């Protein structure tokens, strides 16, 4: 699909309706709480085997290379505005990572709003990362959109506990849930996917009793010294792009190893879209993980 077709498709299907209208956002949360969507993986995922366990109420899936060879682990946090369930695109990316890098990918089905909050979810994701590291070796973090927030907040949480993630991959991450960055105003007119009024509803519910500026909620307000390497993908027609630029500046100032990919005119989570640019970004993710794994194993 052409990069020019995707924004039109998003506008025609009104994909941003729950993000631009606060009342529609509240209605969407009520609907999803009453009628949750299916979260299981597609029946056919190439090159992998999938298993699941239920731990303390969470379904936790494991995506393993079919040949049984493991070089490490990765925990993937899916996006969806903290209210949307994992989708086929997330499963396809998790399977591709597992098959092509020989990482065992853990995919937690974490509780969504109005039942889940950042304070409940982030520490559990951190537990999964440390557990995967004990079982599989070097273990990475990745996430898109809301899952990008979860991934970076988890990396900060792990750093504070004395752990360092080998690399965290962020795809169009939500970084400041207050959406106060004044540069967002100019992007709002171009973004066919996200919006401020509904986004604030989702973000406030996800923050629970924490401040919206707590790093567990909005990782942009964290301190970044001592973090492991970070990879960021962002498109300029995404209202989260201005905060991605702020994050890049803060990471560089803190001396964090940063791989930053910004694409002009591309939409939110473009690496998950069926476009040439999305395919190129997915190849970049695989290359980055392979390089990091080679380095980790050469040291060990």
For residue 284, pLDDT beyond 80: yes
Environment class of residue 90 by beta-carbon count within 10 Å: exposed (0-12), middle (13-18) or buried (19+)? buried
Q: Report, as an integer, the average pLDDT of 25-48.
A: 96
For residue 8, pLDDT beyond 90: no
The residues, ordered by sequence, that sit 6+ positions from 235 with a Cβ below 8 Å of its Cβ are 172, 241, 262, 263, 264, 265, 266, 267, 268, 270
DSSP at 257: -
Among 2-6, 147-151, 231-235, the least confident range: 2-6
Strands 103-108 and 258-263: unpaired
Spatial separation of the C-alpha atoms in residues 2 and 276, rounded to whole Å: 7
The answer to whether 167 touches 101, Cβ cutoff 8 Å, is no
Q: Quote the pLDDT of residue 5.
A: 77
Q: Which residue has the tokens 């960055």?
A: 181
Q: Quote the pLDDT of residue 11.
A: 81
What's the Cα-to-Cα distance from 58 to each of 55, 128, 238, rounded to whole Å? 5, 11, 31
Strand partners, 143: 77, 170
Sign of CA dihedral 122, 125, 131, 134: negative
For residue 194, pLDDT beyond 80: yes
The answer to whether 185 touches 93, Cβ cutoff 8 Å, is no
Q: Quote the pLDDT of residue 45.
A: 96
Reduce the DSSP state of residue 261 to 3 states and report it: strand
Q: Quote the pLDDT of residue 2.
A: 54
The residues, ordered by sequence, that sit 6+ positions from 54 with a Cβ below 8 Å of its Cβ are 60
pTM: 0.96
Residue 4's pLDDT band (cuts 50, 70, 90): low
Q: Which residue has the tokens 């942009």?
A: 220
* Six token digits for residue 248: 């890049």
For residue 300, pLDDT beyond 80: no
What's the Cα-to-Cα distance from 252 to each of 224, 225, 230, rounded to whole Å? 9, 10, 10
End-to-end CA distance of the chain: 42
Q: Phi-psi bin for 268: left (phi > 0), alpha (psi -120 to 50), beta?
A: beta
The residues, ordered by sequence, that sit 6+ positions from 60 with a Cβ below 8 Å of its Cβ are 52, 53, 54, 106, 107, 108, 109, 128
The residues, ordered by sequence, that sit 6+ positions from 5 with a Cβ below 8 Å of its Cβ are none
For residue 1, pLDDT beyond 60: no
DSSP at 221: G
Q: Quote the pLDDT of residue 15.
A: 78
132-179 confidence digits (pLDDT tens): 999 999 999 999 999 999 999 999 999 999 999 999 999 999 999 999
């Amino acid at each position: 699909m052409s990069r020019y077709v995707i924004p039109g498709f998003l506008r025609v299907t009104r994909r941003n309706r729950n993000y631009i209208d606060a009342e529609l956002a509240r209605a969407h949360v009520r609907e999803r709480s009453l009628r949750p969507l299916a979260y299981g993986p597609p029946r056919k995922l190439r090159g992998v085997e999938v298993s699941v366990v239920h731990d303390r109420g969470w379904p936790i899936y494991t995506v393993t290379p079919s040949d049984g060879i493991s070089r490490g682990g990765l925990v993937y946090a899916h996006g969806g505005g903290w209210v949307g369930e994992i989708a086929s695109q997330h499963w396809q990316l998790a399977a591709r990572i597992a098959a092509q890098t020989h990482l065992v990918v853990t995919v937690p089905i974490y509780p969504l709003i109005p039942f889940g909050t950042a304070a409940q979810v982030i520490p559990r994701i951190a537990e999964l990362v440390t557990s995967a590291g004990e079982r599989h070796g070097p273990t990475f973090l990745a996430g898109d959109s809301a899952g990008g927030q979860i991934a970076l907040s988890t990396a900060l949480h792990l750093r504070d506990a004395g752990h360092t993630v080998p690399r965290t991959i962020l795809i169009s991450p939500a970084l400041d849930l207050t959406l106060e960055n004044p540069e967002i105003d100019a992007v709002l007119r171009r973004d066919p996917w996200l919006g401020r009024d509904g986004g604030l509803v989702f973000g406030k519910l996800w923050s629970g009793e924490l401040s919206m500026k707590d790093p567990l909620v909005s990782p942009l307000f964290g301190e970044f010294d001592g973090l492991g390497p970070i990879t960021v993908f962002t498109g300029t027609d995404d209202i989260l792009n201005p905060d991605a630029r702020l994050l890049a500046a803060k990471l560089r100032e803190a001396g964090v190893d940063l791989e930053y990919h910004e694409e002009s005119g591309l939409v939110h989570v473009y690496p998950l879209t069926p476009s040439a640019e999305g395919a190129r970004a997915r190849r970049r993710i695989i290359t980055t993980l392979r390089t990091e794994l080679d380095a980790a194993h050469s040291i060990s």
